[in-house]
Amino acid sequence: MAFDSGSFEQDVPVSVDQPSGGDPQLAAKWARVRGRLQNEVGEVEYRTLLRQMTLVAFDEAEIIVQLPTKFLRDWVRTNYGDKLLALWQAEDRRIRRVEFVVANAGAADPAPEEPPIAPPPETRADASRAEPEARPEMAAPLEQRFTFDNFVVGKPNEFAYACARRVAEHPASAGFNPLFLYGGVGLGKTHLMHAMAWDLVSRNAGRTVPVSVTYMSAEKFMYRFIAAIRSQSTMEFKEQLRSVDVLMIDDLQFLIGKDNTQEEFFHTFNALVDAGKQIVVSSDKSPSDLSGLEDRLRTRLGCGMVADVHATTFELRISILEAKATRAGVAVPSKVLELLAHKITSNVRELEGALNRLVAHANLFGRPVTLETTQEVLHDILKAHDRKVTIEEIQRRVAEHYNIRMNDMSSARRARAVARPRQVAMFLAKQLTSRSLPEIGRKFGNRDHTTVMHAIGRITELMERDASFAEDIELLRRMLESA
């Protein structure tokens, strides 16, 4: 890929040498003008500032040149306007003026149409297909992939899973209302709730009055409640909530400290339970540990079934990764799965996130998933921090590696046994730090920057010629970066 400023969306050449009308003579003149201009102003200026010029119109006395941005137009007009006119006049004496215009942003750089990030779910929790007058705005959409079939069961979550299945099969049965699921973030509580909703809806699809399930986060509950107060429609809000068969509220801990919303939830809770409707609640703590929640609410939350989801074990993490990789249809070596299961222990969301990244990267760049690509792509997760390497560390490590003394890095000795390692250290200092070449030179016994340049050139050349030497340098680089 070239260094270039130009179109963001497409990797296409940005200059157009064919003016509108396609007059080959005119195109040849324009090419000559550009060529001369490039010779006069130099390569860097030309490429950064002038390459994006397009000839858009021409009549006998006037040339119109287009640039993609206002900044470029102004800059080119001020600095190169006279020069361009002179160059044109050399081609065609009739030309009197060169005009500069800005490209129409929309026309010049069309953004390709992209599909939405995910297909819209076909079903909502409240079964809006079966129930036309349902309340689409009340519930949050359900994740298609969060079904019971896709839930990987292991020791840490088998109890919560069994409770969820039971409630989906027999909602509002004694001892299971409310169902209170708790555990750390990203362990599958939301997955279980969505799975229950899918199951309830499909199980009751044949009924004349379809079952109405509403799932929402506590955050959304609060948001809706506040919005209802603002728009003076709290009665509507209450009625809508109290007419559902199953209400699921995710992440209840969000209501801590929000007294008015808690109060409203408490009343909704009581109304639904009294009417024999099922309530499912999730939280990061058990009801008794939810300090900051009103006592009467805590008591009611704990009087049904309380099921905890424990942190995952290594075995469960492996099973989850295997299931997920199979579903994604991507071959992931078992060594990679083990690395992920070993390194990402905090929760399933992060674990799946890491695997998603790997798969997306493999698809985007057409590379298979290997241990090497994993280390590269997930570098930021697998390493707690990137180290800033100092020139001194580089010198010390290189001196150790070649078995020379540290002060030979700055000594005047020119024997190859000393000079070559010194050159290697200079090369690595350029690669691994952002120091300027004169600064690097100073750290190596006040050497001149040209000496540093020579060293970099020499090592680059040696690496190209000698594969084992290149490997050696690569090894040093990795050791320094991960030390």
Partner 1 sequence: MSAIRQLALPFPERFDYAAADFIRAPSNAEALAWLRRTADWPDGRLAIWGEEGCGKSHLLAVWAAEKGARPIQAPALRGMPDLPSGDRIAIDDADATCDEEALLHVLNAAHENQVPVLMAARSPPSRWRLRLPDLASRVRAVTAVRILPAEDELLRLLLTRLLAARRVPVARSVQEWLLLRLTRTPAAIREAAARLDRASLERHRPVTRGLAARVLDDFESGLILHDEETLTADHSADSSAYRPLL
When the beta carbons of 49 and 63 are compared against partner 1, the nearer one is: 49
CB of 144 to partner 1, least distance (A): 12
CB of 95 to partner 1, least distance (A): 26
Burial category of 18 from C-beta neighbours within 10 Å (exposed 0-12, middle 13-18, buried 19 and up):
middle
- What distance, in Å, lies between the first and last C-alpha atoms of the chain? 31
When the beta carbons of 201 and 456 are compared against partner 1, the nearer one is: 456
CB of 468 to partner 1, least distance (A): 26
Task: Count CB atoms within 10 A of the CB of residue 427.
Answer: 25
Q: Token digits for 348?
A: 């399933």
Question: Which residues are CB-contacts of 259 (< 8 A; sequence separation ≥ 6)?
Answer: 294
When the beta carbons of 233 and 407 are compared against partner 1, the nearer one is: 233
269 vs 281: CA distance, rounded Å: 10
The answer to whether 269 touches 234, Cβ cutoff 8 Å, is no
CB of 386 to partner 1, least distance (A): 9
155 vs 44: CA distance, rounded Å: 63
C-alpha separations of 318 from 15, 158, 326, 338 in Å: 52, 16, 12, 7
481 vs 478: CA distance, rounded Å: 5
Question: Residue 379 corresponds to which amino acid?
Answer: H
When the beta carbons of 21 and 329 are compared against partner 1, the nearer one is: 329
When the beta carbons of 52 and 212 are compared against partner 1, the nearer one is: 52
CB of 437 to partner 1, least distance (A): 6
Question: Residue 284 corresponds to which amino acid?
Answer: D
When the beta carbons of 34 and 258 are compared against partner 1, the nearer one is: 258
Task: Count CB atoms within 10 A of the CB of residue 301.
Answer: 23
CB of 27 to partner 1, least distance (A): 22
When the beta carbons of 60 and 114 are compared against partner 1, the nearer one is: 114
Question: Which residues are CB-contacts of 375 (< 8 A; sequence separation ≥ 6)?
Answer: 382
The position carrying tokens 């200026």 is 45
CB of 73 to partner 1, least distance (A): 11
CB of 1 to partner 1, least distance (A): 5
CB of 276 to partner 1, least distance (A): 30
270 vs 178: CA distance, rounded Å: 11
When the beta carbons of 109 and 472 are compared against partner 1, the nearer one is: 109
Of 244, 190, 213, 215, residue with least CA distance to 140: 215
Give alpha helix (H) positions in 331-448.
334-343, 348-365, 371-377, 379-382, 391-401, 416-432, 437-443
419 vs 437: CA distance, rounded Å: 17
When the beta carbons of 26 and 65 are compared against partner 1, the nearer one is: 65
